[in-house]
Chains A and B, each alone.
Chain A
Amino acid sequence: MKSVKKILFYLLLTIGAIAFIYPFYWMITASLAPESEISNLTLFPSSISLNSYKQMVEKIPIGRSLINSIFVASSVTFGVLIIGSMVGYALSRLDFKGRDTIFYIIIFTMTLPFQITLIPQYIIMVKFGWIDTYYSLIVPYLSNALAIIMFRQYFKTISQSLIDAARLDGCGELQIIFRILWPNSIPAIVTIGIITFMASWNEVLWPLIVIRDESLMTMPQLVTLFAVGGRAESQLGVVLSSAVMLALPIILAYLFFQKYFIQSMASTGIKE
């Protein structure tokens, strides 16, 4: 009885796992298959060809968009880590007038739906002359309420004596944050870093709004416009090859750092 149940469980899980993995497998094989075989859903194409990729690379600047995406997501992540830890430190370790007010403002902004700020933020970008610049992709994301809250929580767990000792040694506040607290906050930095990088990497609505110049587009935006526009000339393999290029960097990172990805993403859900 027990073993029958176990087999049933494994069967269920395997069917589930196939349902979650098969589409990605199909995407990769279809992008490598000759165009005539794609609609056949074959598991193994008769021959492997990079033809779809060649055509895709000729039609859209996918390499440039990869560099754009890496640059934008890295800059945002860097900014969020710096600003997040500065504010998180001030809120958790320093006493000053207005501290609680700022804390409540941060909590409030976390609950504010983005639908209300979307249009005015676009208008600000227009007025700043930031349309079709990297600024519009980076600056609005440099500070993040969740990151501040997470740093604040984490810094609270670090012993005050460490900070006192550093202060006696003549460290300034910035030195305390980046020389003393950062090396002791690796888990928080990894978590916040992954969440921020992923959110920036996957963002597509905002780039669609503020970027029209193809050479400045991030990868998700370029692939989206390629998929909905007519340039792929309804050649499925070509669209799929661009989707593979978009998925691959994250899937590769995920294969190596799976545990960190799952932990980090789950912690955003636990925040409430």
Chain B
Amino acid sequence: MPYLLVSPYLVHFFLFIAFPVVFSIVLTFHKWNIISPMEFVGVKNYVRLFNDKIFFKSMINTLIFLAIHIPLQIIVALFLAEVLNQKLKFQGFFRAAFFLPVIVSGVVVTILWQQMFGFDTGLLNRMLVTIGLGKVGWLTDPDVAMTSIAVMATWKNVGLYIVLFLVGLQTVPTHYYEAADLEGASRMQKFFKITLPMINPTIFMVVILSTIGGFSLFIEPYIMTGGGPLNSTISAVLYIYKQGFFYYHMGYAATLGLFFALIIFTVVILQKKFVETNN
């Protein structure tokens, strides 16, 4: 009977996870467009990958995204969570407002921000012009476009992290703060000496989830920029998508997928190590 109960999972696992993982490794040694027969090409896909400027570009883009997205997200979420953690009226309303973009489809958020980032009529440039500054090519300037996407992603996700930080903040025993008050600690001191160390696990979780999110970025560049300008917003998944479903290079797309998966693993493990050695 137990085996009967777990059998749906096992069938699903072998069909949609175990077999695909093995098959993707097989695919990396082949050239295949699904229609004609598979052709064995040895390590050609790997050689190509190491000489592929767009692959490296997508890596750099992801790193730029993470370098902006992770700190920004932690700072904004922590700040708003700190403010919300006071005894205030309408606390539930504010929390619900910040959470709104989390539940709405990324497609909607992207369409909205595409308009706000608009060069001539977008809200952001209008505000810049109003206060006497020049317009920014939020999505048209290759040096800025990825930053714009990182800011948008922060807006979309930060509500979730505010809630997680609030949970974290509430686990800090109040007598820690009372003791600090007795010794005359300032607000800043209390934050850096008590709050921050106590919510370290939450921060770590935000870093891991954001990293995975950065490597999964797809719909935002797909809708807003198509990966441009000059490939400055091409993301890991968008590049796999293009190779696989635009050019039908199944072998090469699988090679990209394998490498990105390995990179995600490595980055997450390194982050884990970093946290463990620092504690």
Contacts and interface: CB of A to CB of B under 8 A. Distances in A.
B230 to A, nearest CB: 19
**Interface SS of chain B:** helix
Smallest CB-CB A-B distances: 9 pairs: A120-B20, A116-B261, A96-B2, A143-B12, A117-B20, A17-B97, A90-B5, A113-B261, A39-B121
A83 interface: yes
Nearest to B249: A119
B105 A202 contact: yes
Contact of A21 (B12, B95, B97, B123): B97
Nearest to A14: B94
B133 interface: no
Given A87-B8, A243-B111, A124 B16 contact: yes
A251 interface: yes
Interface in B60-114: 80, 83-84, 86, 88, 90, 93-108, 111-114
Interface stretch (A47-55, A185-193, A221-229): A221-229
Interface in B245-265: 245, 250, 253-254, 256-258, 260-261, 264-265
A170 interface: no
Nearest to A40: B121
A120 B15 CA distance: 10
A198 interface: yes
Interface stretch (A56-64, A157-165, A258-266): A258-266
Interface residues of B, number: 86
A269 B205 CA distance: 8
Interface of A: 6, 9-10, 12-13, 16-17, 19-21, 23-24, 26-27, 39, 41, 83, 86-87, 89-91, 94-96, 99, 102, 105-106, 109, 111-124, 126, 140, 142-143, 148, 173, 198, 201-202, 204-205, 208-209, 220, 223-224, 227-228, 236, 239-240, 243, 246-247, 250-251, 254, 258, 261-262, 265-266, 269-270, 272
A224 B23 contact: no
B29 interface: no
Nearest to B156: A20
Given A87-B9, A269-B160, A117 B16 contact: yes
B163 interface: yes
A33 to B, nearest CB: 13
B5 A94 contact: yes
A243 to B, nearest CB: 5
Nearest to B35: A126
Contact of B216 (A21, A114, A208, A270): A114
B40 interface: no
B8 to A, nearest CB: 5
B245 A209 contact: yes
Contact of B19 (A120, A247, A272): A120
Interface string B151-170: 00001000111011001000
A121 B163 contact: no
A102 B9 contact: yes
Interface stretch (B177-185, B190-198, B233-241): B233-241
Given A20-B155, A243-B107, A118 B240 contact: yes
- Most B CB atoms within 10 A — which of A9, A41, A143, A209? A143
B137 interface: no
B188 interface: no
B203 interface: no
Nearest to A5: B86
Contacts of A258: 96, 99
Contact of B108 (A10, A140, A143, A247): A247
A148 B8 CA distance: 12
